Amino acid sequence: MYQFSRAIYRELADQVVEDPRSTAPLANHERVLRECEAAITRLASDRYYFARPARSLFNEIRGFFPMAAQRRVLNVISTYMALAEEYVRVAPKSGYDLTGAPLRCRASTRKGTPCRRAPLAHNGYCPSHQHLAESEELAA
């Protein structure tokens, strides 16, 4: 998954503005890369609850770029995040997410703890919580 975050960073690295008061060289470059990696990691591990990943990443890193580059930054982020979302959507479901953690049902139990059952591949809910997937479809 990190190929997406690294691709975003490579496309934007030449326009990152460094802080002249900073004692560490390339500090803003490191921050941009870390934010890109954090967004991709969250997309891979928590895609159902990450509503607008491109917008979220753009809001995190836009301060590191000049105003003239903002449009290009948004376009690059939107393009690569759409590709990453598609990759996550069609990735093979082997019982583990893309970070290596076991898949869990998206629902909570009556006690408020996360459901520990394995989800079905098509919607992320276990057989006991299928009714929640149907209510999401109706709301959409």
Torsion angle in degrees (nearest 10) through CA of 2, 4, 10, 13: -90
Note the pLDDT tens digit of each residue in 43-69. 887 777 788 999 999 999 999 999 999
- Is the model's pLDDT at 135 over the cut of 70? no
The neighbouring-strand residues paired with 34 are none
User: What are the sequence ranges of the domains in the chain?
Assistant: 2-90, 104-140
- Scan for tokens 């954090």, then name that residue: 38
- Scan for tokens 């969250």, then name that residue: 42
Q: How far is 5 from 42, CA to CA, in rounded Å?
A: 12
Q: How far is 63 from 81, CA to CA, in rounded Å?
A: 19
In this prediction, residue 103 has a pLDDT band, given cuts at 50, 70 and 90, of confident
